[in-house]
Structure 1
C-alpha cells in the first residue's frame, strides 16, 4: 500500500487492463446496437456493425498497448537511473 500512496509503483498499468476489457464490452454493445437497432435488419447495418466491432477492438488494443509502452519505458529508465 505504501508503494501506491507514495508513487513508488505505478497503479495505472494495472488499471489499463481493466479499461481495455471495459472498452471491448462497450465496442461489442455498440456494434450489436448498430446491427439490431432501428427499424428492421439490413445488410448495410450488419456490415457497419461488424466493422465497428473490429475497428473498435483493434483501436482499443492499440491505444492500451501504447499506454503500456509508456509505462514500460518509465520502468526501464528507472532501472537505468538506479545503476
Structure 2
C-alpha cells in the first residue's frame, strides 16, 4: 500500500492492459458493424489494421513505464553503490 501511496509503484500499466482489451473489443464491434452494413473489405481493414494499431499504441505506452522502472532500478543501484563506499 505504501508503494501506491508514495507513487513508487505505477498502476498505469495495469490500466493500459485493460484499455488494450477494451480497444480490441472496440475494433471487433466496428468490424461487426461494417459487416452488417455489407462493407466486407473495410471490415477486414478495420479488423487487421485496427488490432495492429491498438497493439502498437499500447506497447508504446507500456514501454515508457518499463523505461521508468529500469531507470528507478539503475538509480537504486547507484545509491547502493555510493552508500557502500564504492565509486
TM-score, structure 2 length as denominator?
0.83
1:10 aligns with 2:4: no
What residue in structure 2 maps to residue 29 of structure 1? 29
Residue segments in structure 1 that go unaligned for 5+ positions in a row = none
Shift of the alpha carbon at 1:58?
0.2
Separation in 2, partners of 1:79, 1:72:
11
* Equivalences, count: 77
Separation in 1, partners of 2:30, 2:4:
35
Residue segments in structure 2 that go unaligned for 5+ positions in a row = 78-87
Separation in 2, partners of 1:56, 1:81:
38
Please give the root-mean-square deviation of Cα atoms over the aligned residues, in Å.
Answer: 0.9
Which structure 2 residues correspond to residues 41-80 of structure 1 after superposition, within 5 A?
A: 41=38, 45-80=39-74
> Segments of 4+ in structure 1 off by > 3 A?
none
